[in-house]
Amino acid sequence: MQVFVVGNTGVDETFMITELPAKGASIHGVKLHQDLGGKGANQAIILSRCGIPTVFITALGNDAQGQWCQEQLKKEPITLLPDKYYSCRTDSSLIFNCDDGDNAIITTTTAAEALLVSDVHQAMEISSPQDVVLQQGNFSAEKTREIFTLAKAKKLTTVFNPSPFNPEFKTLLPLVDILVVNQLEAQLLSGEDDISAAATRLLNNGIKQLIITLGAEGALLQDGEGQQRIAAAPVNVVDTTGAGDTFLAVMLASALKRQLPLLLRDLQGAAAASAITISRTGTLSAFPTSFELAALLASH
């Protein structure tokens, strides 16, 4: 079983600020570091570090940043496709970390938009029915639909993490087997403020399993067997960047090692891995190592 992660790659530039600026304000900040990022890259890297055969399908621009991203990705145990650069600028993110550990992020999607569905189709020719396709929210709803439709035609399991959120993603839910969202995304997708009601409504779209992350309140898993919750792992918050990507990838990897479905223990292991990321500064540099993940997965 292998996972095809179809998503974005970018360069993360992180600044420390005292608080998020108001409209029209100019504030001082300190640039902390530059790191490899992009939700697609984050999730692909962590899945591969968990020992899951991972094919990462992404678009890199034909600039110095694209070359740098490729160098970083090739240090990881992933298969990177397509083997070419696109005629555009590589995507980037500006991450603003506040004193309280929270963050705000601005992300470009120029390279993500340049990725062709035909390139995805070609990369997925090596897939087989027990494989998984994972997407995030950095593509248009139309492209995301085309990729999930292709995955369904190949009888692959579809996993969707619709972040950044797009209201049009509501129409894609019938194509999704496993949906992973945070509390706000669950409310926006379902139209329900109450999380339990939101979970029930989302599951009625044909989704097999739903995971809602609740920040400091933990996470919940809902499927046909009912709803279960876990508490958040205790952690000294340093930087929350990449925490959600860590949670999703480790949770999925844990389940895939048993051939699915997701169980509560998968979420518990994911929460522990996410706590490691939160306790460190950066994106790629904050992720658990292969050794840390192996030990963590063995204990859950």
Sheet holding 79-81, edge to edge: 79-81, 54-57, 3-6, 132-135, 157-160, 178-182, 209-213, 219-223, 226-230
Predicted confidence (pLDDT) at residue 210 exceeds the cutoff of 90: yes
> Is residue 65 included in any domain, yes or no?
yes
Structure tokens belonging to residue 214: 């609740």
Question: 169 near 180, Cβ under 8 Å?
Answer: no
Q: CB under 8 Å to 116, separation ≥6 — which residues?
A: none
> Is residue 87 included in any domain, yes or no?
yes
Q: What is the domain count for the chain?
A: 1
CA pair distance 139, 159, nearest whole angstrom? 14
> Is residue 24 included in any domain, yes or no?
no
Write down the pLDDT at residue 237: 85
* pLDDT-derived band at 99, boundaries 50, 70, 90: confident
Where is pLDDT greater, at 31 or 282?
31
> Is residue 40 included in any domain, yes or no?
yes
Write down the pLDDT at residue 25: 87
| Residue count of the chain | 300
Kindly report, residue by residue over 120-167, the tens digit of the pLDDT: 999 999 999 989 999 999 999 999 999 999 999 999 999 999 999 999
CATH of the domain at 44: 3.40.1190.20
CA pair distance 259, 8, nearest whole angstrom? 26
Structure tokens belonging to residue 300: 């859950």
**φ and ψ at 90, to 5 degrees?**
-70, 145
> Is residue 12 included in any domain, yes or no?
yes
Q: How far is CA 175 from the centre of its chain?
A: 18
- Give mean pLDDT, residues 96-120: 87
Boundaries of domain holding 125 = 3-17+31-298
Write down the pLDDT at residue 103: 73
> Is residue 264 included in any domain, yes or no?
yes
Task: Identify the three-state secondary structure at position 257.
Answer: coil
Question: 47 near 253, Cβ under 8 Å?
Answer: yes
- Residue with the two structure tokens 């706590």: 275
| Helix %, strand %, coil % of the chain (to 5) | 40, 25, 40
CA pair distance 231, 86, nearest whole angstrom? 43
> Is residue 226 included in any domain, yes or no?
yes
- Burial of residue 148 (CB within 10 Å: 0-12, 13-18, 19+) is buried
Predicted confidence (pLDDT) at residue 300 exceeds the cutoff of 80: no
pTM (two decimals): 0.92
Q: What's the whole-number average pLDDT of the chain?
A: 93
- Give mean pLDDT, residues 191-202: 93
Question: In this structure, what is the dihedral angle of CA atoms 49, 52, 55, 56, given to the nearest 10 degrees?
Answer: -40
> Is residue 26 included in any domain, yes or no?
no
Write down the pLDDT at residue 66: 96
